[in-house]
Structure 1
Amino acid sequence: MTARASRPRRPSARGGRRGRRRVLVALVYLVSAAAAAFGVSLAAPSITTAVDGVRYPVAADDVASARAALPKLAVKGRAPQTGYDRGLFGQPWQDVDHNGCDTRNDILKRDLSEPTFKPGTGGCLVLSGTLADPYSGHDIKFKRGVDTSSAVQIDHVVALDDAWQKGAQGWTPAVRESFANDPANLLAVDGPLNMAKGAGDAATWLPPHKPFRCLYVIRQVQVKAAYGLWVTAAERDAMARELGKCEIGN
């Protein structure tokens, strides 16, 4: 694991708005192949919550939907972590949608503003761009390289290890691979914050950037409902608290 790059600067008003708009709009166009296998289609929340003049809009229907879905999630303790291995979710970053690009580059292309690409890769291999990071609230410059790529990482909003302990052990390898590559459960984020999150659920970790927490929890509820994953009692209570704080916007 490489050392963290210098602290990213606060976003400018124009650049911050443009970058965040890319993140938010991207969440509206998510494909959930594995959720479809469960007969469920994920509908991304339309994201209002103010910070530095920038808003993450959260539609009333999205909040209401998450609040209605949360009590329907099974509540159990964590299953043993025994046997967990990243490889059980398939080789990292498959081209599951067969567009010629692996999932990591798909998400970088979706979430970065002004991305550049390696020539000859058909617009797949992302070389650089700017991330309006939803977890920290800062802009992060992404530059592909041995010492720089880890500044931006792709987070599983519902962590793979958390999923393993809450139902994924019973899935087929194909469903686990689809889950690990599902854009509905993936975000480009600050690398060190992703590492700090680890396998944390809503009871143990939430984005430090508080204006994004409502959307984050809505996404976790949607993913867990779609895949039939359960929650712990502490996790359910933490989710309910955050959903109760959501600022509804137009």
Structure 2
Amino acid sequence: MRILRRGRRRGAVAVIGAAIAIAAWTHAGPDFAYSGETVAVAAPEASGDIASLLDQVTVVDRVDQVPGYERSCKKGKGCVFGPAWNDPTDRSGCDTRQRILSRDLRDITYKGGTRNCKVLAGWLQDPYSGERVDLSDVEIDHVVALHHVWNAGAWQWDSRKRQIFANDPIELRAISSSVNRAKSDSGIDEWLPPDPAARCSFVTQYLTVLVKYDLPITVREKNAAIGACAS
């Protein structure tokens, strides 16, 4: 990961073609390092909330794969973001998945005797596609994929911070299982919501998460963010 700049330069003149950014960076991660020259294509000026968010993030030319990511908490696995849906800061008695379902679904029915902690039925207006789906087709999406977050800097965090991140409501959305599979571990330079009307909102939330946790974006992600919100 090589840092190009923090945010955008206010009032900068758009450059036609490519701007050459020469940087060297020694990776503090496990067992590897690199340095060299990179080419960053000049992006158009951002505007509105996206411009404000982009002013607050570090822009890098790329995010490299860092060994050690294992989401599974089965015996012998890394469990690097902690047990699924277990928020160490929450005292409600409901696991994170059920709290997100309660927040995002409509016409909810709860299992009796669970203090409204177990959702039995409901439906979702998928925020990325606009489709209506029943609870059986709903999954919880990490807006910024956990594998991407690991590579972007979470490998340096302690286990408690990683677990807090994985359960932070700002980083979570209920979405349809089919959309979740399509999104997978993609960044915003690789995947955007199928509904064009949802793209800028998604990008805004994506950047908000990165700003909150001081994580970088790549040049390609920055360009994608600006393009998604251009209208």
Q: TM-score range by the shorter chain?
A: 0.7 to 0.9
* Structure 1 residue corresponding to 2:70, chosen from 85, 95, 113: 85
Tell me how far 1:80 sits from its aligned partner: 1.6
Deviation per residue, 1:212-232 (Å, 9 max, x gap) = 111100101111011011111
Scaled by the length of structure 1, what TM-score is found? 0.68
CA distance in 1 between counterparts of 2:116 and 2:212 reads 31
Deviation per residue, 1:187-219 (Å, 9 max, x gap) = 000111111111101100011011111110010
CA distance in 1 between counterparts of 2:198 and 2:230 reads 14
TM alignment of 1:107-126, pairs within 5 A: 107-126=100-119
Report the structure, 1 or 2, having the larger helix content: 1
Q: Which amino acid aligns with 1:234?
A: R
1:134 aligns with 2:120: no
Tell me how far 1:242 sits from its aligned partner: 1.3
| Structure 1 residue ranges, 4+ long, deviating more than 3 angstroms after superposition | none
Count of aligned residue pairs for this structure pair: 176
Structure 2 match to 1:67: 51
TM alignment of 1:151-162, pairs within 5 A: 151-162=137-148
Could you list the runs of 5+ residues in structure 2 that have no partner in the other structure?
A: 1-46, 72-78
Structure 1 match to 2:187: 201
Could you list the runs of 5+ residues in structure 1 that have no partner in the other structure?
A: 1-62, 143-148, 246-250
Identity of paired residues, percent? 40
Deviation per residue, 1:75-111 (Å, 9 max, x gap) = 2211224211112011000144110100000000000
Q: Please report the RMSD computed on the Cα atoms of aligned residues, expressed in angstroms.
A: 1.3
* Structure 1 residue corresponding to 2:172, chosen from 182, 186, 192: 186
CA distance in 1 between counterparts of 2:207 and 2:129 reads 21
Tell me how far 1:72 sits from its aligned partner: 3.4
Scaled by the length of structure 2, what TM-score is found? 0.73
CA distance in 1 between counterparts of 2:66 and 2:120 reads 36
CA distance in 2 between counterparts of 1:66 and 1:236 reads 10
Tell me how far 1:65 sits from its aligned partner: 3.1
Tell me how far 1:71 sits from its aligned partner: 3.7
CA distance in 2 between counterparts of 1:178 and 1:106 reads 15
CA distance in 1 between counterparts of 2:56 and 2:95 reads 34
Report the structure, 1 or 2, having the larger strand content: 2
Structure label with greater radius of gyration: 2
